[in-house]
């Protein structure tokens, strides 16, 4: 075998090895059935939202609203990034908080409350504009990575929004009066670019009179 042929063979071996290495690091194979078992298939956002509101919100991990606000004052950015949930590359973080509180005023779009603790900090409970996204992100009810397109993911927010607007807020607002002692659990959005903006607005998940 002459030198030129040897060179060609070596060249082909090197090229094949490089392509093989690239391919090995670029793709992987899986059984389709196995794959489908690990990924959410067709789903109904209304069923998901109903199950969440009826069965999951009581046990949903949360922090005391007073503690949340205190921690936010100390080292806000560190606290937020370590304890909050966020979606993708967004700079907004989400939390679930709960506390006892006293109603201070019934406003057009919110109920103004003060926490029933030493801090007596003012917060707002949203009663008109409800953002399902805040609940979806704060609760971790769904992971965007599991969805084929954003429509399905967004529909969860819409379903949550509908449930909160129709089942949680009306029976509470009907009886709410200034001075009432209440217990609330809800979701909060914190925009890291607008830290210090108060009072925080809570999207309610549980609202009960004490």
Among 144, 158, 173, 206, binds another protein (CB under 8 A): 144
Among 1, 29, 73, 118, binds another protein (CB under 8 A): 29
The contact pattern for another protein, residues 87-106, with x = CB under 8 A and - = no contact, is -xx-----------------
Tell me the number of residues near another protein by CB under 8 A.
24
- Give yes or no for residue 150 binding another protein (CB under 8 A): yes
- Give yes or no for residue 166 binding another protein (CB under 8 A): no
DSSP 3: H
Q: Which two tokens stand for residue 204?
A: 């309610």
| Window contacting another protein (CB under 8 A); options: 58-66, 78-86, 92-100, 141-149 | 141-149
Q: Are 61 and 84 a contacting pair, CB within 8 Å?
A: no
Report the 10 Å Cβ neighbour count for 91.
Answer: 12
- Give yes or no for residue 147 binding another protein (CB under 8 A): yes
Of 68 and 153, the one with the shorter C-beta distance to another protein is 153
Report the distance separating Cα 122 and Cα 113, nearest Å. 6
Residues 6+ apart with CB under 8 A from 50: 159, 163
Phi, psi of 189 (to 5 degrees): -105, 135
- Give yes or no for residue 33 binding another protein (CB under 8 A): yes
Q: Are 132 and 164 a contacting pair, CB within 8 Å?
A: yes
Catalog residues that contact another protein under the rule CB under 8 A: 22, 25-35, 88-89, 143-151, 153
């Amino acid at each position: 075998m002459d030198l030129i042929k040897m060179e060609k063979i070596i060249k082909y071996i090197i090229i094949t090895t490089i392509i093989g290495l690239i391919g090995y690091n670029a793709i992987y194979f899986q059984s389709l059935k196995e794959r489908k078992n690990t990924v959410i298939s067709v789903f109904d956002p209304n069923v998901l939202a109903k199950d969440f509101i009826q069965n999951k919100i009581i046990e949903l991990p949360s922090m005391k609203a007073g503690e949340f606000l205190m921690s936010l004052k100390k080292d806000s950015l560190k606290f937020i990034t370590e304890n909050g949930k966020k979606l993708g590359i967004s700079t907004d973080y989400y939390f679930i908080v709960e506390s006892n509180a006293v109603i201070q005023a019934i406003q057009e779009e919110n109920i103004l409350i003060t926490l029933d603790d030493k801090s007596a900090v003012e917060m707002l409970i949203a009663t008109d504009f409800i953002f399902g996204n805040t609940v979806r992100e704060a609760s971790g009810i769904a992971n965007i990575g599991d969805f084929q397109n954003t429509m399905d993911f967004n529909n969860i927010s819409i379903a949550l929004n509908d449930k909160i607007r129709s089942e949680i807020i009306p029976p509470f607002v009907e009886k709410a009066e200034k001075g009432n002692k209440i217990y609330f659990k809800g979701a909060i959005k914190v925009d890291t670019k607008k830290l210090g903006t108060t009072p925080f607005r809570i999207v309610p998940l549980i609202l009960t009179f004490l």
